[in-house]
Amino acid sequence: MKTIHSIVPLVAGLLAGVPFLSLNGNPSEGAWNEAVVVGWDQERQEEFETTIKVWDLQPERNRNFYWEGDVDEAGFATGKGKLRWREEGAPDYGPEGLLSVYTGFLDAGKRTGKGKIRFANGEKYEGAWENDLPHGWGEFWYANGDYYQGYFSAGKMEGKGMYARHGMEVYEGTFKGGKRNGEGTVEWPGGVRYESEWVNGLETPESLTRRKTALERIAASEEAIQFGLVSSLAKNEYFRRATLDSVTYESYYEEGEFGFRPVADMLESYREGGLVRSEMPAIGSLFMEMAFENQETRQVVIERGEVEVIESIPDLSPYIVPRLGASEIQFDLANAGWGGARNCVFDFNLHRYGEGPEPGTDETYEFQIQLGDFKERLLKVDMTKAFEECGVDVAFAREHEYDSMNFRGKWTRDQGDAVYGRFAKYDDKGFLDSASVGLHARLSYEWTDARGKTHSHSVLYEGFIQLIYLVEGGDAMGGNAKYDVALQYEGENYRLPFPFSQRVEPFQDARFGLDLNVERSSHHRFRVLLHCSDGTMLRSPVCRVHLFRPRDLDFELHGIDGGGGEIIMPGDSPYLFPDSHERLLGDDELSQLTRDDLWRARNEIFARRGYIFGSDRGKELAESLGDLYQPVGGIDEIEPLLNAAERANIEAIRSYESR
């Protein structure tokens, strides 16, 4: 019988820490966690405090939380929203100290219903919840690359499910109390499988005999190497500093081959987020640590390595990014993908902000704009006609969007309706208070892939448009070697050598890293080859990789080439960056600033939105802006008004302040 060697990809660059969700958690061991939120009473012109409560399964960690959503009369977070957990003492915003992000439903402070959660160590669960634990059907991606799809009961695997262990084997069968229990099928790469039987996580003697026979079939085959994807987390030094919305990869098993692909909801959020940070060097890189295990009784000498690429196919799917900004009735769409889109249709609803229906695929849309083909790098969407049909005097709204102090609290219902139509909102005295619009939209289009197949795609968007500004102002691998492998985005049957050489003693392993990158988004099928001194060659089974490298849109986001007009340079206004609410600040700009300038650049974003500062330093900043500064309230009123560019710029500035 042949000896089975194994080349196993690990992944370096994992965020430090332990898993933040225990699927074996016990709700009775948790406790209520409370957060005091400071708000601003516009009518009384004073601050007020309210207490929000959520259930904490790990109270011993002394974590803080931030809830974006409704609160019931008893103070419990409830309904659909977003729940962030942070380390105690960590800042409210930015990646520092962020432990997890849950998006979904809460009932009386506990996760109940449909929801998804991502952790800073890369783990993710998406599915049903009950009593703050996974319960019902769901999917869980583990930090070490394991993947489970099936049913849960009180946080434990229960009933039918599929578990891919380290990418080395796939078990489909039944579980009980979080362990394999009953009958199931075990399959390895290449299609070798056997029927197994388990009792409380242990395999029966009869089943172990069938397992041994199956392993002998693998050893007798030409491919005498087991190849497993031990981790799905492709993170390097950048990703250790990134938010949970950064590019990550997950492993999968399909047609007898294992592979890596970008996390699906990451791609959707990339389309929906309205931003492209194309200068980030880590986008598109898949960083794997490989391990060769010598299971023979003799020394093995590896002289060199190769990546044998079977095929590389361009990813021609469009990544259409909306550039939605506050108060913009017109906005641009930018295509960060490498293929074009045809027959683009923009369906949308406009409603008074905070009062619209939950967006969904079955939503009926009131308005439609035929955009045609996406031939240029930017495509403009003009909703003026729809706003006018809703009773908005668009010309007046644009001219007076910053004049809120002249008519808020002064205009009657007739005056407000005449200018802001259905979007006007009034205080308890009947005077105009705000005019904010919630946008629910669906962009539908067709595109053709590199093989000539036509696809139909649609993306749901949510936006926030202000007709009145409520504010005018608020080595990851240690000592192991790493080799860069630059794949072609189009080609077949080519090899890429890397200079790995090492003597591996019996029953020891040798480790090295492969950093796969590419110029454009593309799909690849390859295997890893290790050439030995005795003339033998170790081959891994085929692996699939979808690398994500979007098109550079940096020049478009800065307003060039029809993307928004002339750039206002620092020094032309009281602001250090007068356009930080409209574009992304570049590394070349931020890297030159002093710590004091970084502080000002960050806080003038909040000042532009009307944040009321408590420090002398902040008050001096507000005073320096003169009439451009209009005080509004605290962070709870300001934070929802920040657009995508402002949020990204705040995080970018924080990263430089922490250096």
Residues 247 and 338 in one domain: no
Q: Does some domain include residue 487?
A: yes
3-class SS at 54?
strand
Q: Does some domain include residue 304?
A: yes
Q: Does some domain include residue 103?
A: yes
Among 67, 92, 120, give the residue marking a domain's end: 120
Q: Give the pair of three-digit tokens for residue 479.
A: 């000592």
- Give the DSSP letter string of 615-642: SHHHHHHHHHTGGG-B--B-HHHHGGG-
What angle, rounded to 10 degrees, do the helices at 595-608 and 616-624 form? 70
3-class SS at 224?
coil
Q: Quick one: what percent of the chain has pLDDT higher than 70? A: 69
Among 120, 146, 167, give the residue marking a domain's end: 120
Q: Is the pLDDT of residue 658 over 80?
A: no
Model confidence pLDDT, tens digit, residues 558-578 = 322 222 222 233 344 688 888
Residues 336 and 438 in one domain: yes
Q: Containing domain of residue 270, as a range?
A: 233-315+476-547
Residues 334 and 418 in one domain: yes
pLDDT value for 522: 92
Residue in the structure block whose two tokens are 């009518």: 43
pLDDT value for 483: 81
Q: Is the pLDDT of residue 556 over 60?
A: no
Higher-pLDDT residue of 243 and 604 is 604
Residues 113 and 61 in one domain: yes
Most confident residue range from 38-42, 101-105, 394-398: 101-105
Higher-pLDDT residue of 8 and 455 is 455
3-class SS at 231?
coil
Report how far apart the first and last C-alpha atoms of the chain are (Å, whole number). 56
What angle, rounded to 10 degrees, do the helices at 644-657 and 595-608 form? 160
Q: Is the pLDDT of residue 425 over 70?
A: yes
Model confidence pLDDT, tens digit, residues 298-313 = 788 889 889 999 999 9
| Mean pLDDT, range 481-500, rounded to an integer | 88
3-state secondary structure 430-452: CCEEEEEEEEEEEEEEEEECCCC
| CA–CA distance, 242 with 96 (Å, rounded to integer) | 9
pLDDT value for 223: 42
pTM of the model: 0.58
595 burial via Cβ count (<10 Å: 0-12, 13-18, 19+): exposed
Residues 334 and 462 in one domain: yes
Mean pLDDT over each residue of the chain, to the nearest integer: 74
Residue in the structure block whose two tokens are 């500093």: 241
Residues 459 and 340 in one domain: yes
| Mean pLDDT, range 84-106, rounded to an integer | 78
Q: Is the pLDDT of residue 497 over 90?
A: yes
pLDDT value for 34: 86
- Count of structural domains, the chain: 5
Q: Give the pair of three-digit tokens for residue 106.
A: 């809460």
3-state secondary structure 577-605: CCCCCCCCCCHHHHCCCCHHHHHHHHHHH
Q: Give the pair of three-digit tokens for residue 455.
A: 């696809």
pLDDT value for 404: 58
Alpha-helix residue ranges (DSSP H) falling in 142-263: 205-219
| CA–CA distance, 581 with 609 (Å, rounded to integer) | 10
Model confidence pLDDT, tens digit, residues 186-204 = 887 666 789 999 999 899 9
Q: Is the pLDDT of residue 93 over 70?
A: no
Residues 462 and 331 in one domain: yes
- Give the DSSP letter string of 291-319: EEE--SSS-EEEEEEEEEEEEEEE-----
Q: What is the dihedral of CA 513, 518, 523, 524, to 10 degrees?
A: -50
Most confident residue range from 119-123, 226-230, 281-285, 594-598: 594-598
Q: Are 468 and 434 in contact (CB under 8 A)?
A: yes
Q: What is the DSSP letter of 29?
A: G
pLDDT value for 261: 77
| CA–CA distance, 591 with 595 (Å, rounded to integer) | 10
Residues 209 and 303 in one domain: no
Residues 480 and 462 in one domain: no
Alpha-helix residue ranges (DSSP H) falling in 263-393: 264-272, 384-389
Angle, vertex CA 467, rays to CA 466 and CA 469, nearest 5: 65
Give CA separation, 371 vs 293, 381, 442, in Å. Answer: 56, 8, 12
Higher-pLDDT residue of 7 and 196 is 196
- Identify the band that residue 233 occupies on the pLDDT scale cut at 50, 70 and 90: very low
Q: Is the pLDDT of residue 152 over 70?
A: yes
Among 173, 202, 223, give the residue marking a domain's end: 223
Q: Give the pair of three-digit tokens for residue 494.
A: 């080519």
| Mean pLDDT, range 224-244, rounded to an integer | 35
Most confident residue range from 39-53, 278-292, 371-385, 418-432: 418-432
- Identify the band that residue 293 occupies on the pLDDT scale cut at 50, 70 and 90: low
Residue in the structure block whose two tokens are 């001096």: 620
C-beta atoms surrounding 355 within 10 Å: 9
Give CA separation, 596 vs 474, 593, 601, 628, in Å. Answer: 18, 8, 9, 21
- Identify the band that residue 430 occupies on the pLDDT scale cut at 50, 70 and 90: confident
Q: Does some domain include residue 128?
A: no
- Identify the band that residue 266 occupies on the pLDDT scale cut at 50, 70 and 90: low
Q: Does some domain include residue 429?
A: yes
Q: Are strands 432-448 and 424-426 parallel, antiparallel or unpaired?
A: antiparallel
| Mean pLDDT, range 435-450, rounded to an integer | 87
Single-letter code of the amino acid located at 221:
S
Q: Does some domain include residue 7?
A: no
* Beta partners for residue 441, in sequence order: 348, 461
Q: Dihedrals φ, ψ of 85, to 5°? A: -110, 135
Most confident residue range from 57-66, 103-112, 235-244, 581-590: 103-112
| CA–CA distance, 310 with 390 (Å, rounded to integer) | 56
Q: Does some domain include residue 168?
A: yes
| Mean pLDDT, range 448-469, rounded to an integer | 81
Residues 61 and 184 in one domain: no
Q: Are 450 and 316 in contact (CB under 8 A)?
A: yes
CATH number at residue 279: 2.60.40.10
- Give the DSSP letter string of 479-523: TSEEEEEE--SSEEEEEEEE---EEE-TT-EEEEEEEEE-SS-EE
Q: Give the pair of three-digit tokens for residue 638.
A: 């300001």
Residues 241 and 200 in one domain: no
Of 20-24, 470-474, 494-498, the poorest mean pLDDT is in 470-474
| Mean pLDDT, range 26-44, rounded to an integer | 71
Q: Does some domain include residue 267?
A: yes
Residues 428 and 341 in one domain: yes
pLDDT value for 248: 62
- Identify the band that residue 476 occupies on the pLDDT scale cut at 50, 70 and 90: very low
| CA–CA distance, 75 with 92 (Å, rounded to integer) | 20
